[in-house]
Amino acid sequence: MTWSLHHVFGVLPHRIMAELSRRHGPLMFLRLGEVPTVVVSSAEMAEVVMKSKDLMFASRPRGVTLDVIGYGSGIGIIFAPYSDRWHQARKVCTMELLSAKQVKRMEGIRSEEVSNLLSSITTSIGTTINLTEKLSALMNDVIARAVFGGKCAQQGEYLRELEKVTALVGGFSLVDLFPSSRLVRLLSSGERRMRRSYGRIQCIISNIIEQRKEMRAAVSSNDEEDLLDVLLRLHKEDSLPYPLTLEAIGVIIFDLFAGGTKTSGITLEWAMSELLKNPENMRKVQLEVRQVVGGQQSVINNNDLHDLHYMRMVIKEVLRLHPPAPLLPRRAREDCEIMGYKIPEGTNVQVNIFVICQDCRYWDAPEAFKPERFKESNIDHKGTHFEFTPFGAGRRQCPGMLFGTSTVEIALANLLHHFDWVFPDGPNPGSLDMSEKFGINVRRKFDLELRATPYVLSKVA
């Protein structure tokens, strides 16, 4: 099946692919421009791609725009092709940057930034609050402090250019759909815009790295390492099979921001949206948080979250209905078969986890928001249940899953505990527009704007 360009632009690809799969089956071949693409739309076939034949499909799709970021040479984690260099970068990420020990160590950062969020909301009491912007700022500041140890002078500019780059990566660029066409490459502005924005990002990172190296050379410090310190230590030790160059450090930092700031912030945004749209679920989860935590007025930290079972069900249900990346991209590294169908080497594969998470073969009333469905279920999001893989599975599973879920849990618990939330125009859940906007992640099309009332004051009133 050849997908014409009007199918690609101006739509939500995960939803149009879901509609096509219901008509044509769980394994479809599409031609996106010149690019052969197979779409996988069942848990059984997803298990083949991400488990039993994971190594055969462990690479990522190539593209002109992605090559600009250094992924073409194998540098980086998120979109780099499978190779020994990529394996090393992922190992650095999982063992040195986002290990359970590091996530635990960064708990103080998360608590302090959530405290700043609560203070910001408190100062806006009585006005309409753009929660989308505040959650985005929260995640940007958490990642900046984790990576750089604090907020940087050029952080705002870095994030603006990052937004431009992720928009280009998440969209359908003509140069990626028609890679052999010189005319398309000449006429398309995507590659030029990518080079301009990513060049600026690398310049900013280079400045930060040089300033850090000069500071460490001038003053010995007993402070704990931030993630940039870890990367510079590995660069200086020069003990890895593939040298960790300053360019590679820049790409890894880009990956940390691109993967970390978007996914968690968007999940929080959808969680608040679903709870406001379903007042009974909101009442139930707020009651749990307030009973478990008690009258605590300070910031709830991760140590307080162990007994918040229903809130964790809410987060799972949000990830099921709104997986941050509904299409998981893979690429065949060799000729292979899926359920008797031949997949040539170099074919792109998109695992549509959105449609799998909405399939009535695996889920009762799949379109409904029902956190209780997870109460007696052992299904989790860690990549072993292929009807529910919001963070992927296998070699390409998201290495920041633990960091992301920890941040979502502490932020959501505090938002629910400290404030009651209503729409600016009153309690009308049906008025909330749940439209989506597609990109590197799928977020709300329209910002979430609400009014907050401090919980204690509301009880006194």
Per-residue pLDDT tens digits for 420-460: 999 998 767 767 999 999 888 899 999 999 999 999 744 54
- The arithmetic mean of pLDDT across residues 172-188, rounded, is 85
Amino acid at 81: P
For residue 322, what are the contacts with CB-CB under 8 A and spacing of at least 6? 266, 267, 270, 274, 442
Predicted confidence band of residue 222 (pLDDT cuts 50, 70, 90): low
Give the Cα-Cα-Cα angle 255, 258, 260 (nearest 5 degrees). 95
pLDDT grade for 461, boundaries at 50, 70 and 90? very low
Ordered by start, the domain boundaries in the chain are 2-460
Do 166 and 262 meet the contact criterion of CB atoms below 8 Å apart? yes
Closest CA to 20 of 34, 8, 35, 36: 8
The residues, any chain, with a CB within 8 Å of residue 52's CB and separated by 6 or more, are none
In this prediction, residue 1 carries a pLDDT of: 54
The tens digit of pLDDT for each residue in 281-312 reads 999 999 999 999 887 778 888 888 999 999 99
Q: What is the CATH number of domain 2-460?
A: 1.10.630.10
Residue 124 scores a pLDDT above 70: yes
- DSSP-derived 3-state class of residue 3: strand
Of the candidates 190, 187, 143, 198, which has an alpha carbon nearest to the alpha carbon of residue 165? Answer: 198
Q: Work out the angle between the directed axes of helices 190-218 and 246-277 (0-180°, nearest 10).
A: 110
Question: Average pLDDT for residues 54-75, to the nearest whole number?
Answer: 86
DSSP string, 98-124: SSHHHHHHTHHHHHHHHHHHHHHHHTT
Task: Tell me whether residue 336 is annotated as binding.
Answer: no
Which amino acid is present at 291? Q
